Structure 1
Amino acid sequence: MDRETEKTRKRYNRASRVYDLMDRMVKPELRAKVLSQAQGMVLEVGVGTGKNLPYYTDDCIGVTGIDLSPGMLSKAKARAQEAKALVKLYEMDAQNMEFPDDSFDTVVATCVFCSVSDPIKGLREIRRVCKPNGKIILLEHVRSDNPILGKIMDILDPLTVRFIGPHINRRTVANVKAAGLGIRRVEDQRSKILKLIVAKP
């Protein structure tokens, strides 16, 4: 594990006790909308405290959740009991997954790639473990296209990383393309800094 990833792990372990209070960006109705698109064998990258788990539908055969932080996973275990699908949880780095190629029908991540130290490497791992005819669903906050707001986000980014954990100025749509994923659609969610990205491997 590289130094930056280890720092991220420690930050989220510390934050795991209060993370649900901080995680207000994704409303329940948006979670339901996003996760209703998952089907088959599902991988959730960055499962966190498991807030998505109760929203998976009967179309999902099983859900495998991974997270870098054991503190987050300890919270996710309780929510796993509320899920309709069978849930398995593993401590794992999104940049170095231990799954074989072409393992999952759907790969999901919500507000994760703001925290992965090498997001393109992590996205390439998603591409590797997703079946060729599978689906990749990402809900991510990104750097604003507004020149002034984007510059402010750049200035504030080192502080947010140090004290909270995530980068606020990631260009995730561009990173998805750079990782070789085929974008099917991008939808702005309420604001242009929160985007739903649906892609294929």
Structure 2
Amino acid sequence: MKPDSARIQKRYDQIAPYFDAIEAVMEGLVFKSWRQKLWEKVEGYHILEVGVGTGKNFDYYPEDARITAIDFSKKMLQQAAHKRSRKNITVDLELMDIQSLCFASNSFDTVIGSFVFCSVPSPLKGLKELYRVCKPGGQLLLLEQVLSSRLALAAAMQLINPLVVAMAGTHINRTTVKHIQACAFDGVRIDERSGDMIKLIEARK
């Protein structure tokens, strides 16, 4: 694992037991409704969730699907495993880095993630891996926090980004839509309900 990945992994291992509590307010006010919108778009039988974290998306999993979920934080996966047992969710949990997936090419009907790429050291490398494991005609669904399109706010986000990275290991200045467009995905579109800094992104292989 690269040094940047190891550093971020360590951050998430440290906060894993408190992660749900830390994000509880934003989860209730904003993120929960967006997660539901995201998972309503899932198609196909074999689904890959990247950056499963503590399992915040478990409540939205489709019933008639085979779901594999990965994360690069062992402690986050432990929280997800506890939640899986408590909620009686059927999902295969795997310790894995999105930048180097141990899956065969063309494996999944839908690849999905929520608020993941702010923590990926090499976003393009991660997206290329998602493209590789997605089946031809399959879809990529991402819910991501991105850099604001408002110049003053974007400048402020760029200014404080190094501090946020140092404290939390996440980047608040990512241009994830442009990164996806730079890959080989077709039909990249933004859900019309998306806001300035939270984007529901859809793409096809």
Normalised-by-shorter TM-score class:
over 0.9
Shift of 1:189: 5.0
1:27 equivalenced with 2:31 (yes/no): yes
| Structure 2 counterpart of 1:97 | 101
Shift of 1:178: 1.3
Give the distance between the partners of 1:132 and 1:116, measured in 2 at CA. 24
Shift of 1:151: 0.6
1:17 equivalenced with 2:1 (yes/no): no
Give the distance between the partners of 1:33 and 1:140, measured in 2 at CA. 13
* Conservation of the 8 A alpha-carbon contact between 1:5 and 1:116: yes
Shift of 1:184: 3.6
| Structure 1 counterpart of 2:4 | 4
Q: Deviations over 1:107-165 (max 9, x none)?
A: 00100001000000000000000001111100000001111100100011011111112
Structure 2: where are the runs of 5+ without partners?
none
| Structure 1 counterpart of 2:57 | 52
One of 165, 182, 191 as aligned partner of 2:186: 182
* Conservation of the 8 A alpha-carbon contact between 2:50 and 2:69: yes
Shift of 1:103: 0.6
* Conservation of the 8 A alpha-carbon contact between 2:157 and 2:172: yes
Aligned residue type for 2:61: Y
Give the distance between the partners of 1:188 and 1:71, measured in 2 at CA. 35
**Greater share of helix:** 2
TM-align CA RMSD? 1.5
Normalized against structure 2, the TM-score is what? 0.91
| Structure 2 counterpart of 1:112 | 116
| Structure 1 counterpart of 2:41 | 37
**Greater share of strand:** 1
Structure 1 runs (4+) greater than 6 angstroms displaced: none
Aligned residue type for 1:160: V
| Structure 2 counterpart of 1:161 | 165
Q: What is the aligned length?
A: 199
Give the distance between the partners of 1:168 and 1:122, measured in 2 at CA. 17
SS at match of 2:47: strand
One of 172, 177, 189 as aligned partner of 1:173: 177
Q: Percent identity?
A: 39
Aligned CA distance change for structure 1 residues 83 and 148 (closer, same or farther; 3 Å): farther
| Structure 1 counterpart of 2:200 | 196
SS at match of 2:166: helix
Give the distance between the partners of 2:187 and 2:7, measured in 1 at CA. 31
Give the distance between the partners of 2:134 and 2:191, measured in 1 at CA. 22
* Conservation of the 8 A alpha-carbon contact between 2:180 and 2:188: no
Task: Pick which of 34-43 and 67-76 moved more.
Answer: 34-43
Give the distance between the partners of 2:50 and 2:187, measured in 1 at CA. 18
* Conservation of the 8 A alpha-carbon contact between 1:54 and 1:79: no
Aligned residue type for 1:42: I
Structure 1: where are the runs of 5+ without partners?
none
Shift of 1:78: 2.4
